[in-house]
Structure formats: C-alpha cells, structure tokens
Structure 1
Amino acid sequence: MQIPYTIQDNLGQTSAPSTLTVNVTPPPAPVARDDAKAGDFNQPVVVPALLNDTASPGTTLVPGSIDLDPSTPGQETTRTIPGKGTFTAAARRHGALRPGAGL
C-alpha cells in the first residue's frame, strides 16, 4: 500500500510530495498433522483432530473449519467411507468415527 505525503518546517515551507510504502506479510497457513487413535470394536472413536495441529503466531485455529474432504468444493463435516464407517467433525476440536457394520 502506498500513501503520498508532505511535511512542513517551522517557516511553513512544504516539501515536495513523497511516498510512504507499507508492505504487510500475512502469517503462514496453519499446519494440520496426521492423527491416529485406536478404539474398541463396534464403538465410536473420538479423535482430538486439532490437538497436534498448529496455528501461526498471532492466529488461532478455528475448530468449526475442519473439512473432511478438501478435494471437493465446500466444507464437508461428515464423511462416510463405505465398509469403514462415518466420520463427523465436531466444533469442539475433535471428530468421531462411527464404525460400519463389523468394525
């Protein structure tokens, strides 16, 4: 961003215009890390998905922003994997896997 400006001295003389340039560098993107959790047969498994993820300095992770299928447009908060189960992202920093039949 550029802002033109002038300045005056104590005699009231004004300088030629000059430019103030401000460059702002946004923080890097957050880092999501792989998660793993074991569970009991035919029971839901709660995974603290954001527990090991990090935000950039000066930012915070947004728990409600978990997207379970980033390869498709929009945000997917539920994803069913045939023969495996259904994963649902919760707004409280975790997700839950409901196993499919026989898992």
Structure 2
Amino acid sequence: MKTAKTKAQIRAEIENQIESFLSRGGEVVQFQKGVSGLPDGAAIQNSFSPRQVQSRTPVVEVVKAIDARRQVSKTPVAKRKPKKILLKDDFGDPIRWVWQDS
C-alpha cells in the first residue's frame, strides 16, 4: 500500500522541480494584475443568463426584519410545575411518591 505524501514532502518536491526548471535556463514570466492568462484574451464563458440574475435585497433590511420577528416572539413561557406521581410495583401496590418535571 502506498503511503500518502506529507505536505512537507510535496513542498520539497515542488521546490526541486522549480530549481531544476530554473537551472536549465527556464524563466518565470510575471503578468500585470488583471491580464488574462487565456490565449488571445479569450473571454471566459459565463453560465449565467440575464434571466437568471436576480435583483439583490439589501442585507440591512433583511436583518432588521429578522430582528423585529425575534423581538415579537420573546414572550415569557410559563414554566410548568412538577407533578407528584405515585410509583407502583408490578402488582399495583404503591411504593413511593416521586416528582416528575413535565
């Protein structure tokens, strides 16, 4: 079974490949920001059609609406009182009383 390479091993392997590329006379070409790496500046195909684009809802209004609903729903909940229940044995004879939260 092959063991997986660690990140350190992968990193060292990539560094070795870069060093061998540069030692053979290769050079790194840097581009300006915003310049496309596609040949002839070909445009990227966008999968969104104009019909699929929806208008955006301002987030501030949505958050305010959620907070308003949250404040309305904060009504105090009446706590239920525990009940006193009689425990019985298999024959129906009383054993003891216990309190049960409901």
TM-score normalised by the shorter chain: which range applies? under 0.3
With the length of structure 1 as denominator, give the TM-score of the two structures: 0.19
Question: Larger helix proportion, structure 1 or 2?
Answer: 2
Question: Larger strand proportion, structure 1 or 2?
Answer: 1
With the length of structure 2 as denominator, give the TM-score of the two structures: 0.19
**Higher relative CO (CA 8 A, sep ≥ 6), structure 1 or 2?**
1
Structure with bigger gyration radius: 2
